Amino acid sequence: MSAHCQLTGRRPGFGNTISHSHRRTSRRFDPNIQRKRYWLPSEGRYVRLTLSAKGVKTVDMIGIEAAVTRIRARGEKV
């Protein structure tokens, strides 16, 4: 599973870990990705989405129908 949100498009960020001696090693900042299952009434089935924590809140706010419409507009399969 790739670490990206289907709704918001959040992906990992990259940076450096800086030690006490100021040596730099590369690291990765992963988004808080969750797999959630939602009932999609218009199609009469469940859909499983890979969402960030912000994406879950967005679905709660705008509704699953609007969220799936946005995801499909970005060209992702649901």
| pLDDT tens per residue, range 5-34 | 999 999 999 999 999 999 999 999 999 999
Decide: 56 and 34 in contact? Cβ < 8 Å: yes
pLDDT attached to residue 2: 75
What whole-number percentage of the chain has pLDDT above 70?
A: 99
- What is residue 22's predicted lDDT score, i.e. its pLDDT? 97
* Rounded (to 5) percent helix, strand, coil in the chain: 25, 35, 40
